[in-house]
Chains A and B, each alone.
Chain A
Amino acid sequence: MADNSQRNDSVFEAAAHRARVRRNWLLSTPALIILVLAASGPLLVMLAYSFLQAGDYGGVEYRFSTEGWFQVFLARDIFDDTVSVADAHLSIFWRSARLSFLTTVTALALGFPTAYFIATRPRSSRNLWLFLVTVPFWTNLLIRTFAIMEVIKNQGIVNTLLMSAGVISEPIQMLYTDFAIMLGMTYVYLPLMILPVYASMEKLDFRLVEAGYDLYATRIKVLWRVIIPLVKPGIVAGCILVFIPSLGAYVTPRVLGGGRNLMIGNLIELQFGQGSNWPLGAALSIFLLLVVMVALLLYVRNSQKANNIVRH
Chain B
Amino acid sequence: MSDSVSVAIHGVSKVFGHDRNAVTALDDVSLDIREGEFFTLLGPSGCGKTTLLRLIAGFEHPTRGHIDLHGEEISHLPPYRRPVNTVFQSYALFPHMTVAENIGFGLEMQGKSKEETTSTVGEMLRLVQMEDLADRRTDQISGGQQQRVALARALAPRPRVLLLDEPLSALDYKLRKGMQIELKRLQNETGITFIFVTHDQEEALTMSDRLAVMSQGKVLQVGAPREIYAHPAVRFVADFIGDTNFLDAELLEIERDRTELKLPSGKPVSARGAARSVDGKVHIAVRPEQTTLTRDADAAHLEGHIDNVVYSGTDTHYHITLPGGESFVVRTQNRGDSGDEWQAGQTAGIVIEPGAVQILAD
In the bound assembly, the distance between CA atoms of A217 and B102 in angstroms comes to 13
The reply to whether A216 and B94 contact each other, CB–CB distance below 8 Å, is no
Contacts of B154 on A, CB cut-off 8 Å? 214-215
Contacts of B78 on A, CB cut-off 8 Å? 213
Most chain B Cβ neighbours within 10 Å, of A214, A217, A230, A310: A214
The reply to whether B88 and A226 contact each other, CB–CB distance below 8 Å, is no
The reply to whether A229 and B96 contact each other, CB–CB distance below 8 Å, is yes
Is A211 engaged at the interface, CB distance under 8 Å to the other chain?
Answer: yes
Contacts of A210 on B, CB cut-off 8 Å? 59, 79, 86, 88, 92
The reply to whether B110 and A311 contact each other, CB–CB distance below 8 Å, is no
In the bound assembly, the distance between CA atoms of A208 and B93 in angstroms comes to 7
The reply to whether B153 and A215 contact each other, CB–CB distance below 8 Å, is yes
Q: How many residues of B contact A (CB 8 A)?
A: 26
Is B106 engaged at the interface, CB distance under 8 Å to the other chain?
Answer: yes
The reply to whether A226 and B80 contact each other, CB–CB distance below 8 Å, is no
In the bound assembly, the distance between CA atoms of A213 and B137 in angstroms comes to 21
Is B280 engaged at the interface, CB distance under 8 Å to the other chain?
Answer: no
CB interface residues, B 77-129, toward A, < 8 Å: 78-81, 84-86, 88, 90, 92-96, 98, 105-106, 109-110
Contacts of A207 on B, CB cut-off 8 Å? 88, 90, 92
The reply to whether A208 and B79 contact each other, CB–CB distance below 8 Å, is no
Is B157 engaged at the interface, CB distance under 8 Å to the other chain?
Answer: yes
In the bound assembly, the distance between CA atoms of A211 and B80 in angstroms comes to 10
In the bound assembly, the distance between CA atoms of A282 and B257 in angstroms comes to 102
CB interface residues, A 228-248, toward B, < 8 Å: 229-230
**Could you tell me the dominant secondary structure of chain A's interface residues?**
helix
In the bound assembly, the distance between CA atoms of A225 and B80 in angstroms comes to 14
The reply to whether A213 and B79 contact each other, CB–CB distance below 8 Å, is yes
The reply to whether A214 and B85 contact each other, CB–CB distance below 8 Å, is yes
Is A124 engaged at the interface, CB distance under 8 Å to the other chain?
Answer: no
In the bound assembly, the distance between CA atoms of A208 and B154 in angstroms comes to 13
In the bound assembly, the distance between CA atoms of A48 and B81 in angstroms comes to 66
**Residue from A213, A229, A310, A311 in contact with B80 in the complex, judged by beta carbons closer than 8 Å:** A213
The reply to whether B92 and A217 contact each other, CB–CB distance below 8 Å, is no
Residue of B nearest to A205 (CB): B92
In the bound assembly, the distance between CA atoms of A192 and B206 in angstroms comes to 56
Residue of B nearest to A222 (CB): B80
Contacts of A217 on B, CB cut-off 8 Å? 80, 105, 109
Q: What are the interface flags for A249-273 relative to B under an 8 Å C-beta threshold, 1 for contact and 0 otherwise? A: 0000000000000000000000000
The reply to whether A216 and B110 contact each other, CB–CB distance below 8 Å, is yes
Is A4 engaged at the interface, CB distance under 8 Å to the other chain?
Answer: no
The reply to whether A215 and B137 contact each other, CB–CB distance below 8 Å, is no
The reply to whether B106 and A213 contact each other, CB–CB distance below 8 Å, is no
Q: What are the interface flags for A74-96 relative to B under an 8 Å C-beta threshold, 1 for contact and 0 otherwise? A: 00000000000000000000000
Contacts of A226 on B, CB cut-off 8 Å? 94
Residue of B nearest to A209 (CB): B92
Contacts of B84 on A, CB cut-off 8 Å? 214
Among all A-B residue pairs, the 10 with the closest Cβ atoms:
A215-B106, A216-B109, A211-B92, A213-B79, A207-B92, A217-B109, A229-B96, A216-B80, A214-B86, A216-B110
Query: Chain A residues in contact with chain B, CB under 8 A?
Result: 205, 207-208, 210-218, 221, 225-226, 229-230, 310-311
12 A-B Cβ contacts within 8 A?
A207-B88, A210-B59, A213-B58, A213-B59, A213-B80, A214-B57, A214-B85, A216-B157, A217-B80, A230-B95, A230-B96, A311-B137
**Supplied contacts A217-B80, A226-B94, A230-B96, 20 more A-B pairs, CB within 8 Å:** A205-B92, A210-B59, A210-B92, A211-B88, A213-B59, A213-B79, A213-B80, A214-B57, A214-B59, A214-B84, A215-B80, A215-B106, A216-B80, A216-B157, A221-B109, A225-B105, A229-B96, A230-B95, A310-B98, A310-B137
